[in-house]
Amino acid sequence: MKLQELTEKPDLFTGGHRACAGCGFPILIRLVMSVVDTPVVVGAATGCLSVTTALYPYSSWRVPFIHNAFENAAATISGVEAAYCTFKRRGRLNTEIRFIAFGGDGGTYDIGLQSLSGTMERGHRILYICYDNGAYANTGIQRSSATPRGANTTTTPVGKKSYGKIRPRKNLTYIMADHGIPYVAQAAISHWRDLMTKTKKALETEGPSFINVMAPCRLSWGNNPQETVDLVEEAVNSCCWPLFEVENGKWRLNFKPKTKTPYHHWLRRQTRFRHLFHPTENEELIQDLQAEVDRNWEELLSRCQ
């Protein structure tokens, strides 16, 4: 896969959408759409993605795009896929069409989990991509089950007795892998080649596939807009967001950082974790968070052997 060749393909996702400057998910969509070779139908859960890219009368999509409610992006796209299969069986359609659903972490980890789980269990040939920014960013940064521990959100506010979110994040990629579907992967926007390869693999998979991608929201993370990609790279290097894939039950680690950077380097760059360092450093908690990252990393390594 050469970038030069990809630039010659028509842009299926145009500029002019209303996402913030330095937002993470448009990068993800551009990377995904640039490797799509067959006609696709895209579905999306409610979230910044649907609000900023399909705002009547403007749409950034040059492919059919369906927006349904918060909880049923997966159910909607599975219905479209079922209709397509019926049409194909009756000989009314001969084209190969692929189906992709996008959802934010709120619409995937929390609200849309049951419809996603059902879709995966029924075995529709769809690709579900979750762009994980770790909060309900569109509605004003409430906590979601993807919010990392210690983060300040409007529903886990920092105060004298609270250091932000108390519970650790849910590991959705593991949950999806436990569904026993043919392809599950975790990727990040900073590693474009890895993400494109995984998308290609997922689209070629005969059956349901799921990719979880870290894509920052700069409003809730509180980083400078130009650091969006760099910050994700730091997350991957600190091993708090490892890149791996599960292909037919076989776990494979895709990227092992040369030197594992301390987790607090990543935390320090975001204002949502500012209270951990100012006015005094909460060393005990930072060590605790680091231990948690290390534990999860070791556990993943043992799965990937």
Partner 1 sequence: MKAPNWKEIPPGGVIAKGGTAFQYATGDWRNSRPIHDLELCINCLRCWVYCPDASIKVKDGKVVGIDYDHCKGCGICSKECPTNPKAIKMFNETDFGESHPSEF
- Sites of contact with partner 1 (CB under 8 A): 3-4, 7-8, 11, 13-24, 26-27, 30-31, 53-65, 189, 192, 224-230
How far apart are the C-alpha atoms of 19 and 52, rounded to whole Å?
6
DSSP, collapsed to helix, strand or coil, labels residue 135 as: coil
Smallest distance from the beta carbon of 245 to partner 1, in angstroms? Answer: 21
Neighbours of 215 (CB within 10 A): 27
How buried is residue 96: exposed, middle or buried, by Cβ count under 10 Å (0-12/13-18/19+)?
exposed
Closest CA to 221 of 266, 265, 267, 271: 271
Nearer to partner 1, 15 or 91 (CB): 15
Smallest distance from the beta carbon of 287 to partner 1, in angstroms? Answer: 31
Nearer to partner 1, 20 or 285 (CB): 20
Give the strands of the sheet with 209-214, arranged side by side.
Answer: 65-67, 40-44, 98-104, 127-132, 209-214, 183-188, 244-247, 250-253
23 neighbors 46 (Cβ within 8 angstroms): no
Nearer to partner 1, 41 or 176 (CB): 41
Smallest distance from the beta carbon of 172 to partner 1, in angstroms? Answer: 24
Smallest distance from the beta carbon of 233 to partner 1, in angstroms? Answer: 10
Smallest distance from the beta carbon of 200 to partner 1, in angstroms? Answer: 15
Nearer to partner 1, 24 or 106 (CB): 24
Nearer to partner 1, 152 or 270 (CB): 270
